[in-house]
């Protein structure tokens, strides 16, 4: 019985840790503290990205566009600080 409880506790602990890591790139900033979309467009320009679309994903700004070489790029930006959280390229 103790062995079963120990194993159950271990899996529960590992599962909770995995969920916390999955949300590390989510943004939880209240919308009243967000920067305007124009500021997000400036971030894209600084990255050399031509913006196709700016949307909200997981509470963050998500910029979809193309870089200077024409590759598709997706940039996740913190809406308060405008810090780039993640950049993904599609080849």
Which are the contacts of 61, defined by CB distance < 8 A and separation ≥ 6? Answer: 37, 40, 54, 55, 76, 77, 78, 79
pTM: 0.71
Class of domain 27-90: alpha beta
44 is written with which tokens?
């894209």
pLDDT tens string, the chain, 91 residues long: the values are 555 544 445 455 555 444 444 467 799 999 999 999 999 999 999 989 999 999 999 999 999 999 999 999 999 999 999 999 999 998 7
Listed by start position, the domains of the chain span 27-90
């Amino acid at each position: 019985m103790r062995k079963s409880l120990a194993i159950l506790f271990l899996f529960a602990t590992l599962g909770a840790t995995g969920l916390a890591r999955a949300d590390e790139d989510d943004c939880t900033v209240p919308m009243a503290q967000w920067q305007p979309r124009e500021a997000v467009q400036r971030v894209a320009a600084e990255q050399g990205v031509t913006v196709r679309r700016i949307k909200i994903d997981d509470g963050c700004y998500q910029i979809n566009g193309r870089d200077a070489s024409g590759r598709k790029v997706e940039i996740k930006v913190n809406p308060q600080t405008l810090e780039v959280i993640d950049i993904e390229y599609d080849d």
